[in-house]
Structure 1
């Protein structure tokens, strides 16, 4: 069965949102778009060993992250949630430094930001989110976990087990699937039975929502409702944000080998940033002059983050031996001594 077509007839819905909120959503999406462009350039220049683009998925990420409360919720991302991190308020130089492979988990404070380290394990963030959510309820807190994953990860056993566990224990989790149509080189129809990830929610006793992932207003509203439900004790929700990966899977990928570029161009015509821009102007939330100012500020911030990442000093090599065990083992101490001897030669 083919993947359902996106809803909304190409429009973005902002009438139900305040002008101030739509302007913040636009600012985050615009900055993420510019930072994504800078990041690809850094990879081409050899600063990043590799990079995964978020272009075309900014609405799904910014809309969902903006509906959370950074003071009490916790986000568990994959390797493609740069726009979510930015919208959530993560310190972006430290976050983006992860792509330089300077240090496991980047150079930002995961606990302070309440935004987990980049997780490259397919489906890996999902059980972590459920575990945190159950622990949050056991301690009497009202925080909600956000678990990001893709359509490819939805075929992993960890994701199914986590959803079942969350359903049984009414865990406060929002499962946010960014269905960008391709599990690397495998299309939806060859790995998502039934054509919908959200439809699986019923089998786990939770709400399931299929939303236009290029409509930031729709994503924000669906996420806000799911967060409110979870916080009130109503259990988890699966949100399937239908979007598209217009760029290669990563900077080492060649999508021309497995997909029709005409399809990608069709989705480029539904650019979430341009859809939001047009909707804001039509709704009177901003005019072209206002948005031009935001565009300039976003470009400047992206450049500042780029420069900060490129110039970030490498941590001392001895840090390799910290945070491995709570108490250093004899073998780890021996390895540390050997390393020091080799460095001092």
Structure 2
């Protein structure tokens, strides 16, 4: 968590605001602190927790492993496509696979997800074809999946806005009578994903207020990847993020976001609490953004390579594979099979992305309103005349 900027006493630097988190909360805070819920150590050793311990089947754990490997390949492939000019931009999730797969697999079909623009792993868990994501970043659509089909909202680019949307949707669930009925096939909850940087946004804090006031069935899932683009976490808060929830009147918990087992267990408990009508929970998944904020970002300008190297030792996929191998739950054959499946996914994504048809210029007017107002119709006609003028000039 060290800051790569020069040490000065000017406002805006860590020194001006006081000591860093490790000095405030003790050395363990740099690794998440003693309050961190963890079921799997970075070395792949199983731990037990008095509140969040679950018995995972071998098949379930192997499923987590497959999910993370394939989602990482999706991320690597999309990054390469952007570098080759096939995508306009890409928001990487490298290093955050466990946080997203753990949270995504804890959902029930009737739950609803409000993502940011980085929840590729959660989209995978909801059954969304990754090519639908690439269409958005290629610029051939604005996100063309039906949110109701997968109970997975469209990507939200405006930082933090989805938390208000999620809270409102959760309040609607209350009024629809699908919360606290005791029927596991009926009771539903909402989860809102956001990052540590978004936690400083007014929309997020307003969502906390409404959720607490109305006891809304929503889980606020914060992936604290240590960096709000180029701003480190110690410039955003003086306390661990999960502790902010207490100020709004609902519980918060910090989980090891590189531990897929712990993330699943904590998210499952928070979602069930919401479904039972007990209100919101703040989950802080303590992880690290191994790559850039987006492909337009250069993280080497503001963070130390030593930090990245230390977090590589906590890689969520390597951690789970170590556990599987140590307990005889996986062999080279299964690992090779998953790798081959990842290669096939990569080939499908490359072929599918490059074959996407370009949209027609007038298409952008088609899905703005259900009933096109006169003003928009006039704008469309004017733009059509403008485009036609080029055809006349070429004739």
Task: Tell me which interval the TM-score lies in, with the shorter structure as reference length.
Answer: over 0.9
Candidates 92, 95, 98, aligned match of 2:136: 98
Please give the secondary structure, in 2, of the residue aligned with 1:219. Answer: helix
Mapped partners of 2:174, 2:359: distance in 1: 36
Candidates 73, 88, 92, aligned match of 1:34: 73
1:217-296 to 2 correspondences below 5 Å: 217-296=261-340
| Structure 1: stretches of 5+ with no match in the other structure | none
Give the conservation status (yes or no) of the 8 Å contact 2:140–2:356.
Answer: no
Please give the secondary structure, in 1, of the residue aligned with 2:329. Answer: coil
* Equivalent in the alignment of 1:170: 215
* Equivalent in the alignment of 1:10: 42
* Equivalent in the alignment of 1:118: 155
Which deviations, in whole Å up to 9, do the C-alpha atoms of 1:274-319 show, x marking residues without a partner? Answer: 1011112223332232122112112212321232122122334332
Query: How many residues end up aligned between the 2 structures?
Result: 342
Mapped partners of 1:306, 1:112: distance in 2: 25
Please give the secondary structure, in 2, of the residue aligned with 1:21. Answer: helix
Mapped partners of 1:318, 1:41: distance in 2: 30
Cα drift, residue 29 of structure 1? 0.6
Give the conservation status (yes or no) of the 8 Å contact 1:174–1:239.
Answer: yes
Cα drift, residue 237 of structure 1? 0.8
1:323-338 to 2 correspondences below 5 Å: 323-338=367-382
Please give the secondary structure, in 1, of the residue aligned with 2:254. Answer: strand
* Equivalent in the alignment of 2:4: none
Which deviations, in whole Å up to 9, do the C-alpha atoms of 1:98-150 show, x marking residues without a partner? Answer: 1111122x232222121111111111211111111111111112321110011
Mean CA deviation greater in 313-322 or 206-215: 313-322
* Equivalent in the alignment of 2:230: 185
Mapped partners of 1:44, 1:289: distance in 2: 32
Give the conservation status (yes or no) of the 8 Å contact 1:127–1:158.
Answer: yes
Cα drift, residue 11 of structure 1? 4.3
Mapped partners of 2:372, 2:147: distance in 1: 23
Mapped partners of 2:366, 2:148: distance in 1: 17
Cα drift, residue 79 of structure 1? 1.1
Mapped partners of 1:20, 1:86: distance in 2: 18
RMSD after superposition: 1.7
Mapped partners of 1:321, 1:169: distance in 2: 37
Determine if the alignment matches structure 1 residue 203 to structure 2 residue 219. Answer: no
Mapped partners of 2:57, 2:174: distance in 1: 32
Mapped partners of 2:253, 2:149: distance in 1: 31
Please give the secondary structure, in 2, of the residue aligned with 1:244. Answer: coil
Determine if the alignment matches structure 1 residue 152 to structure 2 residue 197. Answer: yes
| Structure 2: stretches of 5+ with no match in the other structure | 1-19, 23-28, 48-53, 179-186
Question: Normalising by structure 1, what TM-score?
Answer: 0.94
Runs of 4+ in 1 over 4 A off after TM superposition: 11-15
Mapped partners of 1:302, 1:234: distance in 2: 42
Mapped partners of 1:23, 1:91: distance in 2: 21
Cα drift, residue 66 of structure 1? 0.7
Please give the secondary structure, in 2, of the residue aligned with 1:193. Answer: coil
Mapped partners of 1:328, 1:135: distance in 2: 28
Give the conservation status (yes or no) of the 8 Å contact 2:126–2:151.
Answer: no
